[in-house]
Structure 1
Amino acid sequence: MINFIVLGKCRRVTSAVLQAIRSFTDAKCIVIGGPETTVLRWSALCKRQVTIDLSGTDDERFVDLVNDIVKTCPHVILIPVDCDGTRLVNRVRDRLMLPVTPIPEMDVLDMFDNKWTFHQFCTRNELAVPETRFIPAKNELDHDAIAAELGSPFVVKPIGLAGSTGVQIVHSKAEFEEVILNNDAYDYGALIAQQYIDGEDIDVSFLALGGRLAALAIQQVHGASIVFCSNPELEAMAERMCRASEYHGVMHVDARIDAKTGKLYLIESNPRFWASLTASVWCGLNFVAQAIIPAPGAIGVRRLTSGTAYTRFPLIRPGCWQQLISDTGERGRLLRAMSLDPVMLSWFLKDLPATGRNFIAGHASGLFAGMRRTDTPNAFAKDVAHIDRRA
């Protein structure tokens, strides 16, 4: 019996959603996605994987496939996990014979999935954003004019790509010419140039139902940890975004706190699930579960205001090994989904050499910094103890 169809093009986001599902249920999932998700057919979190083109050529095939599944599994629910999946569902929704988790309408999705139209939306609704300029193509970007207007350094970004693809902090005209203007590989179409905010990253994730917040979490990355916290100003911004757009679905918004002024700026929005989704699951708020069975409006907003989740792979964190083996609750289930699944384990092993080099390099620099501060044995011992605790 299939309970969920997980639809998406992005492998990392699809995997995070599968892990979030396994943390609270053994329900069976089918993944329908782009070629990047084909490897998930070997995952224990996925009963079956079907590769399709999500851009439009396979819409009829998708409708037939989903409706055939519904005939044998009438209680199945469709979960679009990224923007490509949501666009596909919006194109064919009137022909699908199954419920779909909350997703935004096409025009709202397109607005939030475009860095320039997101900036315009925020400006109209008096939400603080960095000064930003639209650039139709890189050849029309005048470094000196932008630097004079926005300051230096400034940031250049493609308007419609995710995962930091094409994002470049420009420190000088020589760097701009080398990395962007004269770089044939930097070919992303329309761009924005944006004021660089020197400060601290802070993100907000939420589920909204018809323009009303239903669940919310605010997070910051500290080294190998994701820490959840309270920030009333960012929460108010998220609430205003939802209300002004009548947003329906999940979203992850990047923000930044200016180091000099403490002012909070919204940077960009991602109207979909996100790769760090399992961090909030670990700390008690499962956005996938909330989207599948939304809490009644009378209950109010579910907020995650504290907790820490570690980003290192569980098998290299001895402190969680006993929990991984013996915990039958949601955390134990999540640990096993993250670390014992064949696909997740293969990705870890593939990345292990680079992870090891980064780990050693990072702590070696810390040791040398400690030795420069003082030559006493006690200071060196403190640094070693710090490494042991983090590992």
Structure 2
Amino acid sequence: MDTLPVELIRLIFEFCDGPSVRSLRLVSSFLAQVGYDYLIAAHFYGLAYRNHVKRLHAIACHERLRGSISVITFNFSPLAVHHQDLERQSADLPPFHTQAALLEEALAALPNLQELEITYTKPPRPLSRTGEASPTVAHSPRRVCDRDRALARLTLNALITALRPTHLTALTLDGVPLELFRQAEDRRHWFGCARAPLAHLTRLDLAVDPPASLYPSARFRAVNGLGRVLQFTGPRLRRLALRARPAHAPREKFALCFDALLGGQGFVWPCLEELVLEGLSLAEADLRGFLVRHGATLRRLRLGGRGLAKAGEASVGGIHLHEGMFRALFAGLRGRLPVLERFHMEGDFGAVDAAAAATLGTARARGLMQFRAVAAEDWAELVPAEQSLGEGQGRRMLDSVELERYLVRGGDFPRLVTRED
């Protein structure tokens, strides 16, 4: 193989997994030299029960390896009971939030870092001794307690501190406690640190976890803080996903007003091309106004999602309207989204008691329509087996194909038939 062109050898290494790269480098000194740049995967995967901040720092300090990493994921999801022995391994390790300075130094030294993800809901993937990710294991995405939420706030505060020297293009925060944007100290910290790292983003995926109870004044303050942070993203943002995933009650929807979220000043992202809304309870007029303001650039719109549904369950991350009707919403959008190319609905959709939504901030709908997914988050078409999740659970499953046709191409409003919940 030493006689092959370097370009061909690099192509071979690109299609090798970690163990294969290490084995191939043992063949000759030439292959060892060429394969050096492929020792570290482009996607660095860190877990709460492993000291991966220190490992990341070691890679970032290595002159040749630091350029390998372009994507980082830190998974803090709790494991299922029969895997908690793995979590106990971290008892003697320093908590993530105490390593903010080390993490900041590491991130600043990674020249090709483009994407970062923090998640509290996705199944963790245990790592082997070599750092290779193995298949996912069972976890408990809905297990939550006050200590978990307090620790999550400390972790996210440390993260936003460490992101200051970075120039990320994509950021995913999954499972952010909503009260993070209510506490005065946390608000000041985020307002001071978040502006620079968020200003370069082209993609932001933010999933908040509303607490079980929140007084109206505290809720307003939290939503206001969240909206201010969202506005730090600036004019480069092309894809925004805003999700509410209450861990204490996955089927509940979080009541939100875009005017309250964004200051009521008609704020727009001038380059926004894709929007995802999940797990929210909205007013028809408010939602329509927000979408129309972005109509000049909006090409892809997703309403609803999987939420915190378990494997095999129907999606629970739909959208509810606490004012108005979906038929009126879609009729009002017809012709006002001139560049729209794709539209998708997934999860439970229906109307809620407006009084309950105003009082509690969350509410459950009556007369639900259940939509199944026909396209993945990247808009790839799903196979029939993936589309049929949740069927046979007592509710007829619809899809949004005809609604997409109506919004994109026009014609008669499609007839949707479903039985009462």
TM-score, L = length of structure 1: 0.28
TM-score, L = length of structure 2: 0.27
- The structure whose RCO (Cα within 8 Å, separation 6+) is larger is 1
Richer in strand (by share): 1
Richer in helix (by share): 1
